[in-house]
Every structure is written in C-alpha cells, then in structure tokens.
C-alpha cells in the first residue's frame, strides 16, 4: 500500500483531511496542530519501511515549505545526506533515518528547484556501508505543494 493511500485511509482517525492527489504527490491537512503538507514516496519502493519526502507548512508557527525526508533505511552515523535536483545539490541535516534542510533559505531553494525539476534523489550510505539512493518523481509536486499551502490558509 502506498504512503498516499495509507494517509488517505487514516484521515478520519487522525484528524487528517486529504486535499488532493496530484500524480505521485498528495496534499493533506492536519487539524491539530494545524499543518498542511505535500508528500510522496520514492520510485520503485519495495522495502517494508515507509520512506517519504514531504514539504510542510505550519501556519501557527509561521513556518512554510519545510522539507522532511524519511530515508528508506537507517544511514551510517557519519554519512552525509545529499538531495539532488537537476544540477543543484543540497547538503541536509540528518538523524538516524530522517533528514531536513539546514535553514529556511535552503527550504525555499529546494522548493524552487522542485518546481522546475523532473526528479530528485536523496543519497547517503546505509548503516551497512552500502550506498543508498531514494529517487522521487516530481510530476505533481508543485501542484501538491501549492494545494497544501492554500489548504492551510483556508482554515
């Protein structure tokens, strides 16, 4: 079951409202705390983990377009995580299995690159030392990001 389908099925139970599905990206709104986000899973996902990329807005905190990546498997402790969109490369801050942009300016640059890109990849080394690459199609991403942002302004 895809992340988008799983999120859509959980809407009634988690106070989550589906805003729309746009190609491989979905837009959702959470009631409490108020948050809207666009989300997708990587291409060719076959693992039992639930990797995803999301762009979220938290209107109550004044935060907009924050990137969050949940990796397909835990990364090596000192492994760098890099997000690539076309020729652009962004170094991300990372936890054991999650990554974020280092600041709001980088979030803005990532979203701008996503709008003009066809795909993005997240690269690191897994805990086992093997390279790990999660690839996301960007078709529908801009529409889902915009729908999520509008969904939070119409509260």
* Model confidence pLDDT, tens digit, residues 49-105: 789 999 998 887 888 899 999 999 999 999 999 999 999 999 999 999 999 999 999
* Token pair listed for 86: 């076309």
* Residue 153 pLDDT class (50, 70, 90 cuts): confident
Place of tokens 């962004």: 90
The CATH number given to whatever domain includes residue 132 is 2.60.40.1880
Domain residues for the domain of 64 are: 3-153
Beta strands in the chain (DSSP E): 16-22, 25-30, 35-40, 52-58, 63-70, 81-85, 88-94, 98-100, 119-125, 131-137
Structure letter (DSSP) for residue 75: B
Strand 119-125 relative to strand 63-70, pairing: unpaired
* Total domains in the fold of the chain: 1
């Amino acid at each position: 079951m895809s992340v988008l389908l799983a999120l859509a099925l959980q809407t009634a139970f988690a106070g989550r409202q589906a805003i729309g599905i746009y190609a491989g990206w979905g837009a959702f709104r959470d009631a409490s705390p108020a948050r809207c986000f666009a989300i997708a899973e990587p291409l060719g996902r076959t693992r039992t983990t639930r990797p995803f990329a999301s762009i979220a807005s938290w209107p109550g905190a004044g935060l907009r377009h924050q990137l969050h990546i949940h990796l397909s498997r835990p990364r090596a402790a000192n492994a760098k995580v890099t997000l690539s969109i076309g020729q652009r490369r962004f170094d991300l801050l990372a936890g054991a299995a999650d990554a974020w942009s280092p600041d709001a300016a980088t979030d803005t640059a990532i979203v701008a690159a996503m709008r003009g890109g066809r795909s993005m990849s997240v690269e690191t080394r897994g805990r086992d030392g093997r390279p790990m690459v999660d690839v996301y199609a960007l078709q529908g991403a801009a529409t889902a990001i915009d729908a999520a942002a509008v969904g939070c302004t119409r509260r």
